Amino acid sequence: MPGKPEAEPQPSLRQYCSWRIRWPMMMWTSRLPRNRAICLAATKMVSTLAEAGEGVAARRGYSHFFIMHTYSESILPNKLRVITSTHVDSWINFMELWVNAGSRHENAGGLGYAHILEHMLLKGTKKWPTPYLLGLEKDRIGVYSNAQTNLEKISLTINGLSKYKDRMMHVLAEQALNSIIDEIALENEKKVILEEYKKSADDPVRHIARISQMNFFENHPLGKNILGNPESIKAVTQDSLLAYHHSFFVPSQTALIISGDIKHGEAYDMASKYFGGWKDVKSKNNFQNFRLNNHSFFEKRDISQFHIAISYNTTGVELSKRQLALSILANYLNFGYTSPLMQELRIKNGLVYQINIMNGRYVDAGRFSIQTSTTEPQKVIDIILETINSIPDKLTPSLFEEIKNQYIDGLLVNMSDFEKEISFLGTNFILRGKMSSPADTLKEIESIDRDFLMDTVKGFFVEERRHIAVLGPCQIF
């Protein structure tokens, strides 16, 4: 809910709607605020999530999950979202700050800035002005700290024992808000990032993933190389990086997500203490219509295998149910020993060692990609396309239910892992601009039937929405 949560012991509405699903409705509503309008809205929310949580959980046999996890959301006056998952049996905390400031927001003269900024946020702050002093503060409390960049976000991570949670959030806030981006440290880090760029280019698995994405989204912000290029990396300055930070590091585009041993009210108070003075400014999102480059792409390289990426233009967040259907489909195609791609490509024909599927979800677009490597590229491409064409015949109603249940089970297994749980909550924040709990997702998954999945396959897995990229020793098309 927006604003400061109710004081303990009165939990937030989201708390009522998640782990207390086993309590009678009377118990929930009797402890909610007495204002009639709020009570009516609260009852509606409780009823909706109770159906998603209690009903689905009872049928699927995982009610215990919602007893052990409490999902809550509040918004500070400066529009920073505070999202928590309280684990009743934990003594550690994972904290991450997710900022809608990924590489898609860079302009033509600032390619790679988001990734460079990610590096520099770990290199010194006003309170701890050198990498050594910042590292020393972290080492004293034994925490793990890192940062990541992708096309749509920069995230900062810190995790450790819950007794240090206040100091952990202090470090997180210092890095996000008070990094000094020292010129000497920046010049050194630019050399490090150039080495990272070369390493990525030398790795054919990473390179095919990157060039297929860039060619698929040609002339679109999602087609940018997260690492930038050598020229843009060398050209970045302290001033240009600070300008990028000022433009996109704003509280209204940010979520503080905490999983572990923490109550939501406590997290809100700590966030107010360390992030409450963060001023909001208008941030421009770089969204535009996407037209697929569906021409095949080949890059020659003197390597022993052909690396292949077959991608399909799917959908953005406005069709979230379609995105979930595609995730179920990815599970069918390539989860486990008995999946059709594993059976056809590796077990029966010995053509590949590994197959990867990525259901890329973005705010305004989507890309479903199958990636592998082989010495017989045409055979592999033919088998992949035949396997996709056979989905309506091979994915029977009973098998569909098995795969759907398997996907739900996998989701809940992931939610028991702090890092994956925060990734789930953070990704949904970036896509939707607010918290979406596992209960919300489970309800949406429950509504997907085989007919809906087949309609999704029919709509997206067609030649005009397909793009094939190959990296290898000789031309194949």
Looking at residue 346, the DSSP 8-state letter turns out to be: I
pLDDT at residue 62 in the model: 63
Q: Which of 420, 330, 307, 326 is nearest to 365 (CA)?
A: 326
Tell me which residues of the chain have a pLDDT lower than 50: 1, 6-51, 54
d(CA 103, CA 114): 5
Distance separating alpha carbons of residues 427 and 100, to the nearest angstrom: 10
| CA-based nearest residue to 72, from 264, 275, 293 | 264
CA distance 356 to 333: 10
- Helices vs strands, H then E, count in the chain: 21, 11
CATH of 92-275, one of 3.40.250.10, 3.30.830.10, 3.20.20.140, 3.30.365.10: 3.30.830.10
Residue 192, both tokens: 């490090």
Query: At residue 308, what is the residue type?
Result: I
Give backbone dihedrals phi and psi of 194, rounded to 5 degrees, phi first.
Answer: -65, -40
Whether the link from the prior residue into 9 is cis, omega within 30° of 0, is: yes
For the record, the structure tokens of 320 come out as: 């979230």
Residues 6+ apart with CB under 8 A from 320: 431, 432, 444
The number of beta carbons lying within 10 Å of the beta carbon of residue 204 is: 18
Q: How far apart are CA 142 and CA 161, in angstroms?
A: 8
Return the pLDDT at 69: 78
Return the CATH number of 297-472, one of 3.40.50.1820, 3.30.830.10, 1.10.150.120, 3.90.1150.10: 3.30.830.10
Residue 41: per-residue pLDDT: 33
CATH 3.30.830.10 domain locations along the chain: 92-275, 297-472
Euclidean distance between CA atoms 247 and 220, whole angstroms: 20
Q: Strand, helix or coil at 297?
A: strand
pLDDT confidence of residue 453: 98
Say if residues 72 and 14 touch (Cβ distance below 8 Å): yes
Each residue's pLDDT tens digit, 327-368: 999 999 999 899 999 999 999 999 999 999 999 999 889 999
Closest Cα partner for 120 from 249, 15, 14? 249
Could you give the maximum distance between any two Cα atoms of the chain, in Å?
73
What SS3 state is found at 155? strand
d(CA 50, CA 443): 10
C-alpha triplet 414, 68, 74: angle, nearest 5°: 85
The predicted pLDDT at position 11 comes to 38
pLDDT of 5: 57
Q: What CA–CA distance (Å, rounded) separates 173 from 164?
A: 14
